[in-house]
Chain A
Amino acid sequence: MAEPDQRVLPQGVASGPFDLAVAQFVTVLGAQNVLTTDEQLAPYRKIMIAAPDAEHAPSAALIATEVVQVQAIVKICNEYRIPLWPISTGHNFGYGSAAPESRGQVILDLKGMNRIIEIDPVMCTALVEPGVTYQQLVDHIAEHGYALWVDPPAPSAIVGPVGNTLDRGVGYTPYGEHFMFQCGMEVVLANGEVLRTGMGAIPNSNTWQVFKWGYGPYLDGLFTQSNYGIVTKMGFWLMPAPPAYKPFAIRYDHDEDIADLVDFFRPLSIGGVIPNGVVMVGTLYEASATVTRAQYFDGKGATPKAVIQKIRDEHGIGAWTAYAALYGTAEQVEVNWKIVTDAVKASGKGVVITEAEAGDDRAFKYRADLMRGNMNLVEFGLYNWRGGGGSMWFAPVSQAKGSETLKQVELATEILNKHGLDYVGEFIVGGRALHHIIDVLFDRTDADEMAAAHACFEELLDRFAAAGYGVYRVNTAFMDKVADIYGPTKRAVNQALKRALDPNGIIAPGKSGIV
C-alpha cells in the first residue's frame, strides 16, 4: 500500500493534480520562485494569532514579478481549482501575517512586484505595485528631492501602501485614512482579464491618479477587504510637505478622563484644526515603548492595578496620553496652537507637552515620527510587553463621543482580565468616528494562554457586537465570525459578487468570510 501523502495540500485537491499545477507554476515563474519545501515555507507559516500554525499552513508560495505571470497563475488555479492567497508584504502581524485563512492555500507573494511606477511631484500622486514598501517610497522621494510626505501605519518601513490600503488600514498624518486617499487600481480578475478602475479604463488617460470616480458604479471599494480580484497596481495621493509641523502630547492622569478627552478633541478634529487622527494612548500601550511586564510583575494572569499605577508613577506616564499635530504654514500653526492650548486651559484638565519639553522621550519621539510619516518600528515594543509572540488586534468602531469610551474600556478590561490578559489599548478620533484599538497580547508558547486568548477574542467580538459595536478589520482566524456579525444579507450580497467575479472561488477563499 502506498504511503499517505503527508504534505499540506489545498482542500479537495489530490497530490497528483497539485503536482501538475506546481509544474505549470514552475513553467511560468521559474523553479526558484515556486516554494514548496518546509524550510522555504516556514517563514510564511509564522503567525501571531491564537490559532495553531497548522490550520493556516500554505501548500506552496509563488513569487510573481509581472502582471502577465499573475494572469497565467490565475488560469492554472482555475484549471486545478487551487485556492490562491495573495499578499503584498504580508507583515500585518496581529491580523494574520502572510499565512492564508485556511490550510492548504497557495500563497501568491507579490513582494517582487515592487516598482514605483510614477510619483508626480506636481499633482502629489503615486502609482505603485503591491511589493513597494513605505521605506522604498521615502527613499525614492528623498532621492528625487520631492517635497512630499508618505503616511505609513505603525510598522512603517517593512510594510507597503497597497496591502495596508486594501485592508483599509490607517496612518497618523492628515492622510491617515488610506482608502480615502487611494485613487485608481489595476486588478487581475479571476478570469484573467485586467481591469483598470476609474479613469484608468480610458487609453492614454492622464487622470487615473487624480479623479477617483470615473463613470458608472465606483468599483475600487469592492477590491478592499475582499477576494474579488488581485490588485497589481494602485494609485494614491501624497501629502505636500507642510512648511511647519508641530507635534504635541497632552497627558491626563485619571482613567475616567478619557470621556472628556474625546469630547474635547472631536470638534477640533471635525473642524479641521487638528487634521490628523488624535491618538489617545492607554498606560500599558504607552509603556510598551520602554517597559516590559516582567520588569514589574511575574505572576500569572492580568497585571494588577497597583502594578500599573507603579509603572505610571515611575515612568511619568498618564492614564491617557493624547498625541496630535498641527500642520501648515507657521502662521496657521501658530493660530491653531493658540486654539488648542486655550481649549486645554479652559477644560481645566491635561498637561500639554511640546516636542521641546519631551526632549528624548522615546514614546513621544515615536509618535512624533508617526505623525510626520517617518519610518519607525517602536510599536513592535508591544510584543515585548508580555512576550511569547502572541498578538491579535481587536478594533471596534464607535461614534467619537466621550460617552462611548469608558464603558468600552471597562467592558474590554473585564473580558481581558477574566481571561488573564491585559488591557493594552488606545483610541483614535478621526472626525466623527472613534477607533478603539486593543492589542490582545499573549504567550503562544503557553497552550493554556493561547486557548485563553482565543476564547477572550471570541468573547470580545460577541459582547461588543451585542452592545452594537463592530470591528473594522480582523485577523484570519475570526473573519468568518465577523462576517456573521455583520449579518446574513451582507454575507449573501458578498457571496453573490464572489460567484459573479470568481465562480470557481480560487482567490483567497475565506477572506472577510467570503468563500
Chain B
Amino acid sequence: MQIPRRPVLLGLAASAAAMTTPRLAGAAIRGPAGRPSTTVLLTGGAHDDAFLAGVAAAARAGRMPEPTPVRLDALDAGGLARLKAAFSAGPAVVVGLTDDASAAVIGAVARSAGAAQLWSGHHGRGRGAGDAWAARLGFALAANGRPDTSSAPAGTGRYASLASFSYKL
C-alpha cells in the first residue's frame, strides 16, 4: 500500500507540536519582532523530512519565520561552502539531525564562525528513532534549543549513529 508521505509528516509534526510545549528558552529564538530564522542543516538522512517538519511546526507554534533548509548532501566543496554560508548569514539558530561525520564537520565550522552551542549529542538508530521521534526532536531543538524528554536520545540502538545539534549565531 502506498502511503502519501507529506500528509504523514504533517501529522507527525502536528503530534510533535501537541506533545511539546515550546519554552522558547533562547533569546535569539523568541524575539517577537525581527526574529532570526531557524536554519535546518540536512545531509540526505532518512529522517530529514520528518525533522524539518518538526522544526517547521515549532516555527508556526512560536510565530517565528519559516525555517530555511540547507542541503549539504556529501559535504563536498559545494556542501562545505553552503555550510559556511549558513553560519555567516547573520543572527540565526542552526539545528540539524545528521550522521556523525557531518556533525563533526558542522561543529568545527560552527566554532570557527563563533556560534554558541545550545545542544550537541548523539543518538542510537534503534526502534525509537523513527520519523515521529525525528519530528519531536526537530520541534524541541527549534523551540527550546535542546531535546526534551519526549525527544531525548532514542537509545534503543546498539550503537549511536545519528547526531543532533543546535547552535545560535
Whether chains A and B associate is yes
Tell whether, in the assembled complex, residue B101 and residue A89 are in contact, meaning their CB atoms are under 8 Å apart. Answer: no
Within 150-169 of B, Cβ neighbours of A (below 8 Å) are at 153, 157-163, 167-168
Tell whether, in the assembled complex, residue A158 and residue B109 are in contact, meaning their CB atoms are under 8 Å apart. Answer: yes
Tell whether, in the assembled complex, residue B101 and residue A380 are in contact, meaning their CB atoms are under 8 Å apart. Answer: yes
B residues near A299, Cβ cutoff 8 Å: 158
In the complex, A83 Cα to B42 Cα: how many Å?
39
Within 146-178 of A, Cβ neighbours of B (below 8 Å) are at 157-158
Tell whether, in the assembled complex, residue A93 and residue B104 are in contact, meaning their CB atoms are under 8 Å apart. Answer: yes
A residues near B159, Cβ cutoff 8 Å: 293-294, 298, 386-388, 443, 446
User: Is the CB of B8 closer than 8 A to any CB of chain A?
Assistant: no
In the complex, A446 Cα to B103 Cα: how many Å?
18
Tell whether, in the assembled complex, residue A387 and residue B100 are in contact, meaning their CB atoms are under 8 Å apart. Answer: yes
Tell whether, in the assembled complex, residue A445 and residue B160 are in contact, meaning their CB atoms are under 8 Å apart. Answer: yes
Min CB distance, A509 to chain B, in Å?
23
Interface SS of B by simple majority: mixed
Q: Chain B 87-109 against A: per-residue CB contact (8 Å), 1 yes, 0 no?
A: 00000000000011111110111
Chain A interfacial residues counted at CB < 8 A: 40
Within 105-143 of B, Cβ neighbours of A (below 8 Å) are at 105, 107-112, 114-118, 120-122, 124-125
Chain A residue with minimal CB distance to B80? Answer: A157
B residues near A382, Cβ cutoff 8 Å: 101
Chain A residue with minimal CB distance to B103? Answer: A389
Min CB distance, A421 to chain B, in Å?
12
Tell whether, in the assembled complex, residue A39 and residue B117 are in contact, meaning their CB atoms are under 8 Å apart. Answer: yes
Within 34-71 of B, Cβ neighbours of A (below 8 Å) are at none
B residues near A292, Cβ cutoff 8 Å: 161
Chain A residue with minimal CB distance to B110? Answer: A43
Tell whether, in the assembled complex, residue B75 and residue A40 are in contact, meaning their CB atoms are under 8 Å apart. Answer: no
Tell whether, in the assembled complex, residue A444 and residue B122 are in contact, meaning their CB atoms are under 8 Å apart. Answer: yes
Tell whether, in the assembled complex, residue A43 and residue B107 are in contact, meaning their CB atoms are under 8 Å apart. Answer: yes
Tell whether, in the assembled complex, residue A375 and residue B77 are in contact, meaning their CB atoms are under 8 Å apart. Answer: yes
* Residue from the set A43, A91, A382, A446 with the largest chain B CB neighbour count within 10 Å: A43
Min CB distance, A106 to chain B, in Å?
16
Tell whether, in the assembled complex, residue B116 and residue A42 are in contact, meaning their CB atoms are under 8 Å apart. Answer: yes
Min CB distance, B2 to chain A, in Å?
26
Given known contacts A298-B158, A388-B161, A444-B122, A380 and B110 CB-to-CB distance under 8 angstroms: no
Tell whether, in the assembled complex, residue A44 and residue B122 are in contact, meaning their CB atoms are under 8 Å apart. Answer: no
Tell whether, in the assembled complex, residue B105 and residue A158 are in contact, meaning their CB atoms are under 8 Å apart. Answer: yes
B residues near A388, Cβ cutoff 8 Å: 100, 122, 159-161
A residues near B120, Cβ cutoff 8 Å: 42, 46
Tell whether, in the assembled complex, residue B99 and residue A384 are in contact, meaning their CB atoms are under 8 Å apart. Answer: yes
User: Is the CB of A77 closer than 8 A to any CB of chain B?
Assistant: no
B residues near A39, Cβ cutoff 8 Å: 116-118, 168
Tell whether, in the assembled complex, residue A380 and residue B117 are in contact, meaning their CB atoms are under 8 Å apart. Answer: no
B residues near A387, Cβ cutoff 8 Å: 99-100, 122, 125, 159-162
Chain A residue with minimal CB distance to B163? Answer: A389
Tell whether, in the assembled complex, residue A43 and residue B117 are in contact, meaning their CB atoms are under 8 Å apart. Answer: yes
User: Is the CB of A37 closer than 8 A to any CB of chain B?
Assistant: yes
A residues near B114, Cβ cutoff 8 Å: 63
Within 429-476 of A, Cβ neighbours of B (below 8 Å) are at 443-446
Tell whether, in the assembled complex, residue B75 and residue A384 are in contact, meaning their CB atoms are under 8 Å apart. Answer: no
User: Is the CB of A48 closer than 8 A to any CB of chain B?
Assistant: yes
User: Is the CB of A98 closer than 8 A to any CB of chain B?
Assistant: yes
In the complex, A48 Cα to B104 Cα: how many Å?
9
A residues near B157, Cβ cutoff 8 Å: 294, 298
In the complex, A294 Cα to B77 Cα: how many Å?
27
Tell whether, in the assembled complex, residue B111 and residue A158 are in contact, meaning their CB atoms are under 8 Å apart. Answer: no
Tell whether, in the assembled complex, residue A377 and residue B100 are in contact, meaning their CB atoms are under 8 Å apart. Answer: no
Tell whether, in the assembled complex, residue B111 and residue A98 are in contact, meaning their CB atoms are under 8 Å apart. Answer: yes
Within 46-103 of A, Cβ neighbours of B (below 8 Å) are at 46, 48, 63, 89-91, 93, 98
* Residue from the set A98, A386, A445 with the largest chain B CB neighbour count within 10 Å: A445
Given known contacts A43-B110, A377-B80, A383 and B104 CB-to-CB distance under 8 angstroms: yes
Min CB distance, B121 to chain A, in Å?
8
Given known contacts A46-B120, A294-B125, A299-B158, A377 and B105 CB-to-CB distance under 8 angstroms: yes
In the complex, A383 Cα to B158 Cα: how many Å?
16
A residues near B158, Cβ cutoff 8 Å: 294, 298-300
Min CB distance, B71 to chain A, in Å?
16
B residues near A443, Cβ cutoff 8 Å: 122, 159-160
Chain B residue with minimal CB distance to A138? Answer: B77
Chain B residue with minimal CB distance to A381? Answer: B101
In the complex, A445 Cα to B161 Cα: how many Å?
10
Tell whether, in the assembled complex, residue A383 and residue B110 are in contact, meaning their CB atoms are under 8 Å apart. Answer: no
Chain A residue with minimal CB distance to B102? Answer: A380
In the complex, A292 Cα to B159 Cα: how many Å?
11
Give the interface of B toward A (CB within 8 A).
Answer: 75-77, 80, 99-105, 107-112, 114-118, 120-122, 124-125, 153, 157-163, 167-168
A383-B99, A446-B159 are known; give 5 further A-B pairs, CB within 8 A: A42-B120, A294-B158, A375-B80, A445-B153, A446-B160
Give the interface of A toward B (CB within 8 A).
Answer: 37, 39-40, 42-44, 46, 48, 63, 89-91, 93, 98, 111, 135, 157-158, 292-294, 298-300, 375-377, 380-384, 386-389, 443-446
